[in-house]
Structure formats: C-alpha cells, structure tokens
Chain A
Amino acid sequence: DQQVKQNSPSLSVQEGRISILNCDYTNSMFDYFLWYKKYPAEGPTFLISISSIKDKNEDGRFTVFLNKSAKHLSLHIVPSQPGDSAVYFCAASWRNNAGNMLTFGGGTRLMVKP
C-alpha cells in the first residue's frame, strides 16, 4: 500500500503562471516532507522541505504548504519557467528501527510551456 501518493501523473502549465503539485500521505507518523526534482537521465535533486511542525516553507519561487489534518502537502512554483519542466517527487520521512527513512510518491511530470 502506497503511503505517499501523487495522484496527478502529469501537469501542464503556461510559462509565468503558477504550478501547483499535490501530494497526499496516509501515515501520521511522518514528521518531515521533502520535494525532489528529476530531469531525464539524472538522479533526483533536493528542492525544498518542511517539518511537520510548520505549515509553510518558502524558498524563492518555491513554496511548500502542509495541511496535517488533511494529510496533504503541495508545492507551488511561481512564476513557472520552462526550465522547471521535470518530474517532481514528494517524499516523507519517518523513524523506524533503522533511523529516519524516506518514502517517495510516484512523481508528477510538470511541463511548462513557453
């Protein structure tokens, strides 16, 4: 059973507009959430994160919102640029016997059209 879900496999946005990528999770033990960006033929690169004690974290054009009651987080990119076109993975961190582990969603492919 997937504990982190990205229900939209793809999203298309016009350059300059806002991109909103969504992520839902089921495990209330997750205490830290991250977004990664992945270009084809490359590994994922860390983008932005948020602790479960916060509801918003902003870094330049990227803002992550966390709604714990809804077990939902979202990544906002504004304004969107063609170079933002990539696959975005949501990840959630929780602690088990081995330490803090990350569970990833299936990814959303963002296409920003010029």
Chain B
Amino acid sequence: ETGVTQTPRHLVMGMTNKKSLKCEQHLGHNAMYWYKQSAKKPLELMFVYNFKEQTENNSVPSRFSPECPNSSHLFLHLHTLQPEDSALYLCASSQATGLSGNTIYFGEGSWLTVV
C-alpha cells in the first residue's frame, strides 16, 4: 500500500469510447502527477498539478484531459484514443513541486488497452 490508489487497475476501451482513470492519495500531499509508461520506453511525464493548479502539460494530445478537483484526487479523462495509447498510466503524488528533493510516490497504475 503506497498511499496512492488508482482505479480501475485494468481498462479495455474502444477508440470511440469515453472513460476516466481515477487517482486518490492519502498522504496529505499537494502535488499530483500523471505518467505514462509504454513498452520499452522511459516513464513519460504527462501532467502536473500543484495545489490543484495545472503547472505542467508535457505536450499531451487533447484526447487526454486531466481534472484535479482537490489536492487528494486526480482524474484522467480519455476520449477517442488510439491503439498506440495503450500503456500503463501511473498516478503519483508528492508534497509540492516547489520543494527541493521532491520524492514522488506512485500508485500501482492503470493498464489501458485501446482496441
């Protein structure tokens, strides 16, 4: 148990579907992140929220839409995805992005398959 919970753990969706990934952290952190891990690629940062404000969008296509209603919850809304978007999507949290030595803690990930 890492203190960062992601649901669902596995998701299969069609290219015309709309689905959402959910993340909740119980660590009292103020920053939350979405990362993507594709096969044989390094972890890619997608979005960063610091105190509910989006501070980083790493050139992510608009078919991925994040939402951060409060510091404990983070969503990733998915719409008209492509098969190449199939990957492990990891949520993470940390105290705040402005701190030196910022250790982030990951959830267990949501495996997404787009068919």
- A residues with a Cβ closer than 8 A to B are 2, 4, 31-32, 34, 36, 41-46, 49, 51, 89, 93, 95, 97-107
Interface majority SS (helix, strand, loop, mixed), chain A: strand
Q: Cα distance A102–B106 when bound, in Å?
A: 13
Q: Is the CB of B42 within 8 A of A99?
A: no
For residue A31, which residue of chain B has the nearest CB? B100
Q: Is the CB of A43 within 8 A of B96?
A: no
Q: Is the CB of B99 within 8 A of A100?
A: yes
For residue B94, which residue of chain A has the nearest CB? A100
Tell me which of A4, A89, A100 contacts B102 (CB under 8 A): A100
The contact size tier of chain B is 20 to 34
A64 CB to nearest B CB, Å? 13
- B residues with a Cβ closer than 8 A to A are 2, 4, 6, 31, 40-43, 45, 48, 50, 55-56, 90, 92, 96-109, 111
Measured between beta carbons, the chain B residues less than 8 angstroms from A102 are 45, 102, 104
Q: Cα distance A19–B90 when bound, in Å?
A: 27
A-B contact pairs, 6 of them (CB 8 A): A44-B90, A46-B104, A93-B101, A98-B48, A99-B98, A103-B45
Q: Is the CB of B105 within 8 A of A46?
A: yes
| Supplied contacts A98-B55, A100-B102, A106-B40, 12 more A-B pairs, CB within 8 Å | A4-B42, A34-B103, A41-B109, A43-B109, A44-B90, A45-B106, A46-B103, A49-B101, A49-B103, A51-B101, A95-B100, A99-B99
Q: Cα distance A31–B40 when bound, in Å?
A: 26
Q: Is the CB of B2 within 8 A of A43?
A: yes
Q: Cα distance A101–B61 when bound, in Å?
A: 20
Q: Is the CB of A43 within 8 A of B100?
A: no
Most buried by B among A2, A36, A44, A46: A44
Measured between beta carbons, the chain A residues less than 8 angstroms from B56 are 98, 101
Measured between beta carbons, the chain B residues less than 8 angstroms from A104 are 42-43
Measured between beta carbons, the chain B residues less than 8 angstroms from A49 are 101, 103
Q: Is the CB of A42 within 8 A of B55?
A: no
Q: Is the CB of B108 within 8 A of A43?
A: yes
The 7 A-B pairs at the shortest CB distance, nearest first, are namely A99-B97, A43-B106, A98-B55, A100-B102, A104-B43, A98-B56, A99-B98
